[in-house]
A and B are shown apart, each in its own frame.
Chain A
Amino acid sequence: MTHTQEPRQATRRHAPRSRRTGSTDPDHGKDWSTWPTYDAAELGLRNYWYPIMWAEQVGQKPVPIELLGERIVLVRDHDEIYALHDRCPHRGVPLSLGRRQYDGTISCPYHGWTYRLDSGRMCAALTDGPESPINNRVSVSTYPVEQRLGLVWVYVGDEEAPPVERDIPRELLDHDFVMGGRWDIREGNWRFAAENGFDEGHAKYLHNTALWRLFKVMPAWNVTRVVEEDGWLIRVQDEVHWEAEFPELGTWTNKRWWKRMPLPDAPGKGKNINPVIAGLNIPGFVSFRLPGLLRVAYPQFIHYEWYVPVNEDQVRYVQIMVRYEEGLKAGAFKAKYLGAIRWLFHGQFTGQDAWMVDVMDAPPEKLYRPDLSLTAIRRHIEQVAPTVQVDRTPGSKRTRKPAAREMS
């Protein structure tokens, strides 16, 4: 299966729509009106860089993508990759279907309107002659693009793009490492995916059947709090319980005779910690930061996953695993990643998450104690107050404006 295919036209509508009743009911589980910015962020957050796909996957042939509900075409011209709005203003035909008629340009397949990749300016309407009065008077939007970690990063925003490094964890910029990764388009809103990643309670139950955890015990339940450090929300385990007695039901535990004993409850604790990871001084394994990045730091490696909004109903799920090793150990990691991790952790394990995100139907919802990790994200978004994406599709019937909804 190729992963360069773009998402099918979304036909489903996930549950967030069900809360568009404008209710002011104080019952917080009924809708997300307690977190209006979060509630409005169905299409994602503007003014951030987002990883899209591997740079090697963008060639001379234009690649259509959807990002925050915006249709974008990626094109490579020599070493540079460009991103343009994927719609010829003439008759609305996707430029991604077009031809590379001349160096540094892309031409609409319909009438040959030819756009410069760097500026988006239509420099020649090929079927109207060199003196066409419309030449150089039309343009399409362009998007800042960078290549880092082997990935293409696209900035969607209204402000001047900051350095892409702002949106990449520092430990991925300052050190040598070896990494393996994959991306795919998954069903479900990006907020469900992000919440699922940071969800305190689910791994102990959902993932206890994952092959990745076949030989490792997971706790039965934890007492958790969330702290904020340098823009990261970090889950800190105050108590870890490996088994519990439920009256009239029996014992609940993930312990099995064939499973190894638990991980330390923070990446800096325990023995045999990679010095780079120990140096991060993270008080808990799992961290989250905007616009939608999860970091799970184990003693010897770190797993990252980005939840990149495609549209209301789909999320681009980019996952990488990083090990701070060189030489033979780096080679061994590559083999292990291709032979096992890609299929077990970045396959079946996160596939279980994809399953839940796809079938989730909330709000309404009834939260329990471990869901403080979810509400921490929501509260964080309200505090940061990022710019929320609204539907910018020309002629779209999906005209959502958060302010208007709040007034209803």
Chain B
Amino acid sequence: MNPRLVVRVLIVLALLALLPVVVQKVLLRLTGTVVREERRSR
């Protein structure tokens, strides 16, 4: 497999994984809004 392709795919996947975090940061910054989950039992 082409190593450059692998690197590109990995970069895209990493960016996609970061997207929710980025969206939340932007929302917090712009609108003071937060969504989150609270876990008590684990």
Give the interface of A toward B (CB within 8 A).
1-4, 53-54, 56-57, 149-150, 172-184, 326, 330, 333-334, 337-338, 342
Contacts and interface: CB of A to CB of B under 8 A. Distances in A.
B33 A182 contact: yes
Given A175-B40, A176-B40, A176-B41, A338 B28 contact: no
Contact of A179 (B27, B28, B30, B35): B35
What band does the interface of chain B fall in when counting residues whose beta carbon is under 8 Å from A?
10 to 19
A305 B40 CA distance: 22
Given A174-B40, A175-B40, A338-B27, A180 B35 contact: yes
Contacts of A342: 31, 33
B35 A334 contact: yes
Interface of B: 27-41
Contact of A180 (B34, B40, B41): B34
Nearest to A336: B35
Contact of B33 (A175, A176, A180, A330): A180
B32 to A, nearest CB: 3
Q: Which of B27, B29, B35 has the most CB of A within 10 A?
A: B35
14 contacts: A1-B30, A2-B29, A2-B30, A2-B32, A3-B32, A149-B38, A176-B38, A176-B41, A179-B35, A180-B35, A181-B33, A182-B31, A182-B32, A342-B33
Contacts of A176: 37-41
A54 B32 contact: yes
A334 B33 CA distance: 11
B32 A150 contact: no
B36 A178 contact: yes
Contact of B32 (A4, A330, A334): A4
Contacts of B37: 176-179, 326, 330
Contacts of B34: 54, 56, 150, 180-182
Contacts of A180: 33-36
Contacts of A173: 40
B35 A57 contact: no
A285 to B, nearest CB: 23
A342 B34 CA distance: 10
Contacts of B29: 2
A85 to B, nearest CB: 25
A334 B36 CA distance: 8
Given A54-B28, A56-B28, A337 B40 contact: no
Given A4-B32, A176-B40, 19 more contacts: A1-B32, A2-B30, A3-B32, A54-B34, A172-B38, A175-B40, A176-B39, A178-B36, A178-B37, A179-B35, A179-B37, A180-B33, A181-B34, A182-B31, A182-B33, A326-B37, A330-B37, A333-B35, A338-B27
Nearest to B38: A177
A177 B36 CA distance: 9
Q: Which 3 A-B pairs have the closest CB atoms?
A: A3-B32, A334-B35, A180-B35
A106 B36 CA distance: 31
A30 to B, nearest CB: 39
A173 B41 CA distance: 10
A152 to B, nearest CB: 12
A288 B32 CA distance: 25
A169 to B, nearest CB: 12
A181 B32 CA distance: 8
A3 B31 contact: yes
A4 B38 CA distance: 23
A269 B3 CA distance: 61
A183 B38 CA distance: 18
B36 A179 contact: yes
Contacts of B38: 149, 172, 176-179
Contacts of B27: 338
Contacts of B35: 178-181, 333-334, 337-338
Nearest to B37: A178
A56 B30 CA distance: 13
B40 A184 contact: no
A184 B32 contact: yes
A57 B28 CA distance: 8
Nearest to B40: A176
A331 B37 CA distance: 9
